[in-house]
């Protein structure tokens, strides 16, 4: 579970920065676009789209923006064709880094991602070079409210298909296999639990501790990648403690 803690920290920091730079809506729109493009524009039958819409609404994204992204994906509006690409490489000190990109120009994205790695002490690698260092998991966090019984929640989560649960930093963190993620989340919601966050993500199997100098370089690499509008998510195994 330690890997998730590091992932959660960087995700929270990234979301705050994105919102500050005015890029959050663009990234959310791309998520909606991709989900609708691959699974159709009806959130009642497209779980990925429903999740993307819920995230957008939680960020106060206007309904017009949500509708426009769906319409582009389903062909109702002429728009760019986006492609999902995952880049893998090594940051300073050999840290493992995975970068998920959604782009309408893969040559531009590849060049910019490679430049960010090279500039900040890393190098872009071949597909699969670090993927084996991560596990793809559904991560559901439930608010540890006064009326939530930890043992009851654990039993309900396991019965719904979850793998494990821990109490960390005032929230209950539930892990699932990706294919069980939606079922577990929807079951817990129907039972009255308040879901604070829910996402399928990549969790590092082990973490890497860096020197202060390399850690600073790594944070600059992450910042540079976050500045790229095409970058959707960044996963790494840096131990930030």
- 140-157 pLDDT tens trace: 999 887 788 999 999 999
- Domain identity same for 19 and 69: yes
- Tokens encoding 27: 């990234």
Confidence of residue 11 (pLDDT cuts 50, 70, 90): low
Taking residues 178-197, report their average pLDDT.
Answer: 90
Closest among 60, 40, 59 to 50, alpha carbons compared: 40
Taking residues 179-200, report their average pLDDT.
Answer: 89
Poorest-confidence range of 68-82, 121-135, 191-205?
A: 68-82
| pLDDT, position 21 | 42
Is 78 within a domain?
A: no
| pLDDT, position 97 | 97
Taking residues 188-192, report their average pLDDT.
Answer: 92
Residue 227 has pLDDT above 90, yes or no: no
- Domain identity same for 113 and 213: yes
Q: What is the value of pTM for the model shown?
A: 0.77
Is 241 within a domain?
A: no
| pLDDT, position 113 | 97
Closest among 79, 132, 83, 130 to 103, alpha carbons compared: 83
Q: Which of 73, 102, 124 is the last residue of a domain?
A: 73
What is the tally of structural domains in the chain?
3
Residue 86's DSSP bridge partners are 100
| pLDDT, position 206 | 93
Taking residues 3-23, report their average pLDDT.
Answer: 52
Rounded Cα distance, 80 and 69, in Å: 11
Residue 203 has pLDDT above 50, yes or no: yes
- Domain identity same for 154 and 113: no
- Domain identity same for 113 and 214: yes
Rounded Cα distance, 106 and 83, in Å: 8
Mean pLDDT of the chain: 86
What CATH number does the domain containing 90 carry? 3.30.70.980
The per-residue DSSP string of 63-82 comes to: HHHHHHHHHHHTTSS--PPP
Closest among 238, 166, 162 to 204, alpha carbons compared: 238
| pLDDT, position 83 | 82
């Amino acid at each position: 579970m330690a890997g998730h803690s590091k992932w959660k920290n960087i995700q929270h920091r990234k979301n705050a920065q994105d919102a500050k730079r005015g890029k959050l809506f663009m990234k959310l729109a791309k998520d909606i676009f991709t989900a609708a493009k691959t699974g159709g524009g009806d959130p009642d039958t497209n779980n990925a789209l429903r999740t993307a819409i819920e995230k957008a609404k939680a960020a106060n994204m206007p309904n017009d923006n949500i509708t426009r992204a769906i319409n582009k994906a389903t062909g109702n509006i002429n728009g760019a064709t986006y492609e999902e690409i995952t880049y893998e490489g090594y940051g300073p000190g050999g840290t493992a880094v995975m970068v998920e990109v959604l782009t309408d120009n893969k040559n531009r994205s590849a060049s910019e991602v490679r430049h960010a790695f090279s500039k900040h002490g890393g190098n872009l690698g071949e597909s699969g070079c670090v993927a084996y260092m991560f596990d793809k998991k559904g991560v559901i966090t439930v608010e540890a409210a006064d009326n939530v019984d930890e043992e009851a929640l654990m039993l309900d989560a396991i019965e719904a298909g979850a793998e494990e649960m821990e109490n960390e930093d005032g929230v209950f963190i539930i892990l699932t296999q990706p294919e069980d993620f939606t079922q577990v989340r929807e079951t817990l919601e129907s039972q009255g639990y308040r879901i604070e966050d829910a996402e399928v993500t990549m969790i590092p199997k082990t973490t890497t501790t860096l020197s202060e100098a390399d850690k600073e370089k790594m944070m600059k690499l992450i910042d540079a990648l976050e500045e790229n509008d095409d970058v959707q998510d960044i996963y790494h195994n840096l131990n930030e403690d």
